Chain A
């Protein structure tokens, strides 16, 4: 996997931040400009344009293989686009700034992506300790996040294997938020959670996004979940954006028959699952 961070390491600023260029008009938090990605000759992202502004929450939806996760990996610099450009806070991502940029992003994956050899609190504080934050600052930030994510403080010393799925997800979220990133990337954050806990966590996440006022991208294959988190939805199919807009637009003015097809499939799933409707 081409990883930009192999090339060189950026000197770490004390707060782990990378200062963007001083511009009068604040640049969008994340921009993909004509981003193209191919694997083995198969195009997974075809000249895609996407801008996410400061404080904006976007729901990325689409069937599997439509390029949702690829977008997140491009944003993190875990992948390099074959063509086009990825800009974070106005600066093109390259080997010289990718580590600093990643520290300004929070990444939460399905089931938390926690390191099994570290306790919950060690997972959460890993980066701050690596960057040699002062103990008082670490304590303050941890307490803040424990409260924000409503994580049971007595579970902090447990190892990931000893936590419930919901707790693991909250630890993953705390870890992603610890350095106070400008952009939060969530990849199927509720994918591994059982339905009851899921509803509770959904509410909590939604409240957290509202309080944080950060740019957020939520990737999910569940239209209802995306609509719950984000006003702005982006529907992908085979590496292209099919339609963008709020859920109402997707329902009432589908850009292509595929939109209706996707919505109908989701509605059928939802109906069978809990008897309700979108």
Chain B
């Protein structure tokens, strides 16, 4: 058992190795994985950097819950958020739906107080709202004389198709239909992007959009006025930790200038440059900061080769550390599982259950414990790698014919000598195959690490999905596949070298 605890210690040390020195922590700026959030995060980073704060880039993290947990746990100092999201999804203090008048300054003061109690604060509102709205083609709306949502009630013949999420949200269609007495019968749910495309092509007449969607200008859409004030407001803010503000007062003073500076039209234009013109978010943000605040803070985009090399190193580090730790833990666990059938059942079931946890969920569970970056990703990959190794160790050992084990016992070898001299060498091929499959799965799963700020080949993949840019997706997917193939080949080679000759089938 002493051995087992030594292994556990090693894992802890390996996971802890990534912790930075405590001297002067940089300002960790994050964003969620969609264009608007990344642009705002980049702009904030540029302003703070120009004011002298060293920036640690945590862009494009997996989602709201992940950013929030990272902020609360101190793994993140600042990220763009929306007041509506804070109330509805995070704090669960529902605002009385009430449109333009719905989020009075008093409400914002209340929000500020709630956040202050948790050591948090926000800059803003920045000026624009990114809330739900209903949109139609301009030409059709003009022809039918529809300006506001209440006008829809007069035209039951219009085809209304909505995004799936909107169709089921409390602050979505059910409430809206009731408020405006809209016909509820033939409304269909579909994907947000498809709905917007369908609207442009005339396949449907009305759908929900986000009020800063770049497509509004591109496709010539009319946003219908919320004349009965149904939609809650989603004002953009910069959410931050107050201890970071104390550390970098000059940077936060500079960030304060963003307050009220980005209106709906501006944000829509910035989104359009990224999503429609395929300009990198950092460039769009830099142009905006230069134009609006006269701050020339260029943070160079990484060149192609250094970026590839950095991602490869990040990816390999995730895989290598997690796999090594998994081998050190899974081998003894696999051996232990063969020693008692009951214990074996429990162990295999336990590592099997870990495998069934969706990878993104597992990553999110790690955030409160390990922060964001390489450590939660390494820990999650470690857990995922356990099953194939434990299972194959167990299978390899139990497949040894009983007479062979008996022969070893009859020689007078101790149980330990039997394990090391007979059982493990005989099971070696199977165990190696388990490690190989863990490694290959690991390389694929490690791409998800980008969602918790661990870098690696997942970064361009998720950026590509966000920006609808296939070449960017391939920039991550191809090296990841190549890496998986290389590792597979390496293990095939290892097998040829290491598996005892007598166990390979070869001509006599």
Please give the residue numbers on chain A whose beta carbons come within 8 Å of chain B beta carbons, in ascending order.
3, 5-6, 9, 16, 73, 76, 78, 99-103, 105, 107, 109, 113-119, 126-127, 130, 159-162, 175
Report if A5-B503 is in contact (Cβ < 8 Å); known contacts: A109-B403, A115-B408, A115-B426: no
Shortest Cβ gap from B109 to chain A (Å) = 71
Within the assembled complex, what's the spacing in Å between the Cα atoms of A73 and B503? 28
Residue pair A119, B502 in contact (C-beta under 8 Å): yes
Shortest Cβ gap from A169 to chain B (Å) = 13
Given contacts A113-B407, A115-B408, A130-B413, 14 further A-B contacts (CB under 8 A): A3-B409, A5-B415, A9-B416, A76-B409, A78-B410, A102-B410, A103-B411, A113-B406, A115-B422, A115-B426, A126-B421, A127-B411, A159-B502, A161-B502
Within the assembled complex, what's the spacing in Å between the Cα atoms of A5 and B413? 9
Residues of A within 8 A of B142 (CB): none
Residue pair B502, A107 in contact (C-beta under 8 Å): no
Shortest Cβ gap from A7 to chain B (Å) = 10
Q: Does B169 contact A (CB under 8 A)?
A: no
25 residue pairs of the A-B complex, CB under 8 angstroms, read A5-B415, A9-B414, A9-B416, A16-B412, A73-B406, A76-B409, A78-B409, A99-B413, A99-B414, A101-B412, A102-B409, A102-B410, A103-B411, A107-B410, A109-B403, A113-B406, A115-B404, A117-B425, A117-B428, A117-B500, A117-B502, A118-B502, A127-B412, A127-B413, A162-B508
Residue pair B413, A107 in contact (C-beta under 8 Å): no
Chain B contact residues: helix, strand, loop or mixed: helix
Residue on A nearest B503 in the bound complex, by CB: A117
Residue pair B407, A159 in contact (C-beta under 8 Å): no
Within the assembled complex, what's the spacing in Å between the Cα atoms of A109 and B412? 15
Q: Does B501 contact A (CB under 8 A)?
A: yes
Can you list, as one digit per residue, whether each of B105-131 has a CB less than 8 Å from chain A (1) or not (0)?
Answer: 000000000000000000000000000
Q: Does B417 contact A (CB under 8 A)?
A: yes
Report if A78-B414 is in contact (Cβ < 8 Å); known contacts: A115-B422, A116-B502: no
Shortest Cβ gap from B503 to chain A (Å) = 5
Residue pair A102, B412 in contact (C-beta under 8 Å): yes
Report if A107-B407 is in contact (Cβ < 8 Å); known contacts: A99-B412, A127-B412, A130-B413: yes
Within the assembled complex, what's the spacing in Å between the Cα atoms of A115 and B427? 12
Residue pair A109, B407 in contact (C-beta under 8 Å): yes
Residues of B within 8 A of A126 (CB): 411, 413, 421
Residue pair A115, B508 in contact (C-beta under 8 Å): no
Give the residue of A16, A78, A99, A115 whose beta carbon is less than 8 angstroms from that of B406: A78
Interface set, chain B 252-299, CB cutoff 8 A to A: none
Give the residue of B404, B416, B426, B502 whose beta carbon is less than 8 angstroms from that of A113: B404
Instruction: Pick from B404, B407, B426, B505 the residue with the most CB of A within 10 Å.
Output: B407
Report if A5-B502 is in contact (Cβ < 8 Å); known contacts: A113-B403, A113-B404, A116-B426: no
10 residue pairs, one from A and one from B, having the closest CB atoms: A159-B502, A102-B412, A117-B500, A103-B412, A113-B407, A107-B410, A9-B414, A117-B425, A116-B502, A117-B502
Shortest Cβ gap from A191 to chain B (Å) = 12
Within the assembled complex, what's the spacing in Å between the Cα atoms of A101 and B411? 10
Please give the residue numbers on chain B whose beta carbons come within 8 Å of chain A beta carbons, in ascending order.
403-404, 406-417, 421-422, 425-426, 428, 500-503, 505, 508
How many A-B contacts at CB < 8 Å in the complex? 72
Shortest Cβ gap from B339 to chain A (Å) = 9
Residue on A nearest B505 in the bound complex, by CB: A161
Within the assembled complex, what's the spacing in Å between the Cα atoms of A118 and B502? 7
Residues of B within 8 A of A161 (CB): 502, 505, 508
Residues of B within 8 A of A109 (CB): 403, 406-407
Residue pair B414, A105 in contact (C-beta under 8 Å): no
Residues of A within 8 A of B505 (CB): 161
Shortest Cβ gap from B140 to chain A (Å) = 77
Within the assembled complex, what's the spacing in Å between the Cα atoms of A80 and B217? 86
Residue pair A100, B412 in contact (C-beta under 8 Å): yes
Residue on A nearest B499 in the bound complex, by CB: A117
Residues of A within 8 A of B426 (CB): 115-117
Residues of A within 8 A of B502 (CB): 116-119, 159-161
Within the assembled complex, what's the spacing in Å between the Cα atoms of A116 and B422? 9
Within the assembled complex, what's the spacing in Å between the Cα atoms of A245 and B500? 48
Residue pair B421, A5 in contact (C-beta under 8 Å): no
Instruction: Pick from B406, B408, B409, B428 the residue with the most CB of A within 10 Å.
Output: B409
Instruction: Pick from A6, A113, A114, A115 the residue with the most CB of B within 10 Å.
Output: A115
Shortest Cβ gap from A173 to chain B (Å) = 13
Within the assembled complex, what's the spacing in Å between the Cα atoms of A3 and B408? 12
Residues of A within 8 A of B410 (CB): 76, 78, 102, 105, 107
Shortest Cβ gap from B378 to chain A (Å) = 34
Residues of A within 8 A of B412 (CB): 16, 99-103, 105, 127
Within the assembled complex, what's the spacing in Å between the Cα atoms of A117 and B425? 7
Shortest Cβ gap from B311 to chain A (Å) = 41
Shortest Cβ gap from A165 to chain B (Å) = 13
Shortest Cβ gap from B278 to chain A (Å) = 58
Residues of B within 8 A of A76 (CB): 409-410
Residues of B within 8 A of A175 (CB): 411
Residue pair B417, A130 in contact (C-beta under 8 Å): yes
Give the residue of B411, B425, B501 whose beta carbon is less than 8 angstroms from that of A102: B411
Residue on B nearest A103 in the bound complex, by CB: B412
Shortest Cβ gap from B29 to chain A (Å) = 56
Residue pair A116, B503 in contact (C-beta under 8 Å): yes
Within the assembled complex, what's the spacing in Å between the Cα atoms of A175 and B408? 11
Within the assembled complex, what's the spacing in Å between the Cα atoms of A103 and B505? 32
Instruction: Pick from A103, A159, A160, A175 the residue with the most CB of B within 10 Å.
Output: A159
Shortest Cβ gap from A45 to chain B (Å) = 18
Instruction: Pick from B412, B428, B500 the residue with the most CB of A within 10 Å.
Output: B412
Within the assembled complex, what's the spacing in Å between the Cα atoms of A16 and B417? 15
Shortest Cβ gap from B404 to chain A (Å) = 7
Residue pair B407, A115 in contact (C-beta under 8 Å): yes
Within the assembled complex, what's the spacing in Å between the Cα atoms of A99 and B425? 22
Within the assembled complex, what's the spacing in Å between the Cα atoms of A130 and B505? 28
Residues of A within 8 A of B422 (CB): 115
Shortest Cβ gap from A74 to chain B (Å) = 12
Residues of A within 8 A of B403 (CB): 109, 113
Within the assembled complex, what's the spacing in Å between the Cα atoms of A115 and B425? 10
